[in-house]
Amino acid sequence: MKIDTKSKKVNKAWLNDHVNDPYVKLAQREGYRSRAAYKLKEIDEQLGLVQPGQVVVDLGAAPGAWSQYLRRRFAPKVAGQGGAAVGGLNGRILALDLLDFEPIEGVEFLQGDFRDEAVAAKLADMLGGKPVDLVVSDMAPNLSGIESADAARIAHLVELAILFAETHMKPGGALVCKVFHGSGYSQITEGFKRAFHVVKPIKPKASRDKSAETFLVGRRLRSPKVSGA
């Protein structure tokens, strides 16, 4: 059997980088399920997006680090007690993912594909007409390596996140969405600008330099479908 030595070298290099990554070590110390928590933390600290008492929807939530961070922000007095803070929750978090999700106290979870209209409708039912303050999306499709096809899949998920925000979010709310530099990035940015008055790209320090990953933050919807400040 032929062994792909190049692939083995790449995997070994990735594993070495991962093990020695300071954010991986920090996540282990602070009880987060992944280093991704620090991406949202940095975005929040820059822009002040997360406030106690909010209704937040976490799209592409698994394994749950972003929901953990939100949970801590809604229970700051017990923030040091593990990855999912215990105690009262001043706010509401609804998480959705296609993958399994280990429960987090106070976080409501729906398992399903956000591209499925029935799943999106179920998420809307869970909201019960309550307007959303913040939508965070760490969703990413399975990439094929074919640039045009992957760009289309990424753009579709972003479009769905924007549509969800326009349908359920307060006019003054915000959407945080993972995107990738490359084919289709400028079109995605233009879509954000059509939907929001304020659009800001952010590359958190916790996002690896080698990664094409970045985040777009949209604030103040141009065409909200719900009322509220």
Q: Which residues are catalytic?
A: 178
Q: What is the rounded distance in angstroms from the CA atom of residue 73 to the CA atom of residue 76?
A: 5
Percent composition of the chain: helix, strand, coil (DSSP 3-state, to 5): 40, 20, 40
Burial of 90 (0-12, 13-18, 19+ CB in 10 A): middle
Q: What is the rounded distance in angstroms from the CA atom of residue 161 to the CA atom of residue 175?
A: 8
| Cβ atoms of 94 and 126 closer than 8 Å | yes
Q: What sections of the chain are H helices per DSSP?
A: 5-19, 22-30, 37-47, 65-74, 117-127, 147-168, 185-195
